[in-house]
Structure 1
Amino acid sequence: MPDTQPISVQHLKSACAQCSVVELCLPISLSSQEVDRLDDLIVQRFRVKKGAALYRAGDPLRSLYAIRIGSFKTSIVSVDGREQVTGFQIPGEMLGLDAISADEHACSAVALEDSEVCPMHFAQLEKLAQTLPSLQHNLNRLLSREIVRDHSMLMLLGNMNADERLAAFLLNLSQRLSVRGYSGTRFVLKMRREEIGSYLGLRLETVCRSIAHLRDLRLVTINSRNVEIHDLCGLTQLVAGCHRPPTL
C-alpha cells in the first residue's frame, strides 16, 4: 500500500490477546482460542503517517482495519469538489466497513496523526466468521453501530443549533476517550476546526463563535487544540436543550 509502512515481523510480538484495545475491538467476547484464530489473519500491521491515506474512495475492498494507535478521519468529496468529513475514529474502532455493500470504499480514511492499524483480509474474515458465531455477532454489532451513528448524526444536524452540535461532539469524544482509559475532561483535538465544522455542518467562523459561547458559559475551554471540560453535566443539559444559549 503506497501510503502505509509495514511493521517488521520482530515488532509483531503483541497479538490481539495482548493488545491494549482488545476489549473495544472486533475480538470482544471471543475466547482465547478464537482470538488466536482471528490474530492469524493479521499478517502485517501498518503504520500510517499523519496526513497519509489508509485507503481512498473508489479503492476495492481488501481488508477491514482495527485502529491500534492514533486516529483517523473519514471523508467524501462532494460534486463541487469540497471535502465532507463523515467521522473521526480512535483506537479500538474499525475502518473499512463502508466498503462491504459495494466491494469498494465509499469514503477516504486519512490519518490525523502517526497511527497504526491491524488489517484483516475481509474474504478470510468473512470465512472465519461463518465458523465462529461470536465473531459474526461482533461484525453484525459493528455494522449496527455504524447505522446508529448515521442516525445520530442526522438528528444532530437536523435538530440542534451550533452550540448544541459542538457540545454533542465534545461529549461524544469525551465518552469514547473515557472508555479507553483516557481523561474525559482533558484531551487534545487531533482534528482542525475546519474539519470539525465540516463534520458538524458548520462554517469555520460559527465553530469559533460556539467555542467562545461554551467558554462564556463556563462549560468548556478550548485553547488551540487543548480541551478542558469544566462541567460535564452542564454540557449534557445543553445538548438536551435544557440550557439553550441564544440561537445563531
Structure 2
Amino acid sequence: MASSQAQPLDLRELKRVCSNCSLKELCVPMGLARAEVERLDKVVEKSKTLHGGDHLFRKGDAMRSIYAVRSGTFKSYAVNREGEEQVIGFHLPGELVGLDAIHPDYHQCSVVALDTASACVLPFQQLSELASNIPGLQRQIMRLLSKEISAMVPLAGDHSAEERMATFLQDLAKRLGERGYSATDIHLAMSRRDIANYLRLATETVSRVLKKFQNKGWIAVDRRHLRILDQQALGELAKDSLSEQD
C-alpha cells in the first residue's frame, strides 16, 4: 500500500527539487497563510523508491491517493478480456497519476515503474477534508486536476504511422521541456514494444519509422537514446495529424 510506504516530505525540500512539478501549485501555493501551508505540508508524503516492474497501484485497487511522479518514468496500462496489455500512457517527472480513480473510487488501470522511480503521495480523503476547511484550496485542486486531465488527449482517428510517431515525439519533447529537462536529448525509458502498443502499431513499424526519421536527418537514435535534430520537420508532421482532430 502506498500509505504504508510513505514518509513525510518537508516543504523546503519540495521548493528546492520540485519547482517543475504539477503539485507545486498545491505544495507551494500562493495566498495561503503559513499555518495553512503547514497543514497542507503534513498531507504530502513521499513513496519509497520503486524499481522497474514495481507497481504504484493496480487495476481494482481502492482509491486512496493521487500521485505526482518525483523521479523516473511510469507506464499506465490495462488488460483486455483476451489478456492482452494495452498501454494507456507514459508519465514523466512532475506529472500526476491516479486521477482515473476519483469517480469510481477504484483504479481502472495499473501503473508500473519503467525504471528506478518515486512519487509524491497525496492521500485523497485527507486532501479533500483539508480543502473543505481552507478557502481557495479546493479551487486550486480543481484547476490542477482539470489541467492534467485536459492534457491526456490520445491521438485518435486514421493517422499514418509517421504522423503518430511524430506526434508522440513532439508531445514527449514538449512535456520534458515544460519540466525543465532537455526537449531534444531524450532517454526513452519505454521500450519499442510499449511505444508500439501505445500508438497501436506493430513493433517492427515503430523501428521502421524511427529509422526513416533518422535517414531524413530528423532524429538520431542510439538504442534508447534519441536526439531530435529537426524539430520543425517533426512539428509540421505532428501538426498535420493533430489538426485533423479539431
Structure 1 CA distance for aligned equivalents of residues 139 and 170 of structure 2: 28
- Return the TM-score normalized by structure 1: 0.85
Report the Cα offset of residue 39 of structure 1. Answer: 1.7
| AA of the residue aligned to 2:185 | R
Contact 1:46 1:119 in 2 (8 A): no
Superposition map of 1:37-186 within 5 A:
37-150=39-152, 152-153=153-154, 156-186=155-185
CA deviation profile, 1:24-74 (whole Å, cap 9, x unmatched): 322317136344322211245322121100100000011111111111000
Whether 1:20 and 2:17 are equivalent positions in the alignment is yes
Report the Cα offset of residue 240 of structure 1. Answer: 2.2
Structure 1 CA distance for aligned equivalents of residues 16 and 39 of structure 2: 15
Report the Cα offset of residue 132 of structure 1. Answer: 3.4
CA deviation profile, 1:79-113 (whole Å, cap 9, x unmatched): 11111111111111111111011100000000011
Structure 1: gaps of 5 or more residues: 243-248
Is the alpha carbon distance of 1:147 and 1:25 closer, same or farther for their aligned partners in structure 2, counting shifts above 3 Å? closer
Is the alpha carbon distance of 1:123 and 1:5 closer, same or farther for their aligned partners in structure 2, counting shifts above 3 Å? closer
- State the number of aligned residues: 236
- Return the TM-score normalized by structure 2: 0.86
Contact 1:16 1:27 in 2 (8 A): no
Q: % of aligned pairs identical?
A: 38
Report the Cα offset of residue 147 of structure 1. Answer: 4.0
Contact 2:170 2:235 in 1 (8 A): yes
Report the Cα offset of residue 211 of structure 1. Answer: 0.7
Is the alpha carbon distance of 1:65 and 1:112 closer, same or farther for their aligned partners in structure 2, counting shifts above 3 Å? same
Structure 1 CA distance for aligned equivalents of residues 83 and 218 of structure 2: 36
Structure 2: gaps of 5 or more residues: 242-246
CA deviation profile, 1:115-140 (whole Å, cap 9, x unmatched): 11111111011111223354323332
Structure 1 CA distance for aligned equivalents of residues 162 and 50 of structure 2: 33
Whether 1:214 and 2:221 are equivalent positions in the alignment is no
Report the Cα offset of residue 5 of structure 1. Answer: 8.6
| C-alpha RMSD of the superposition | 2.4
Report the Cα offset of residue 14 of structure 1. Answer: 5.9
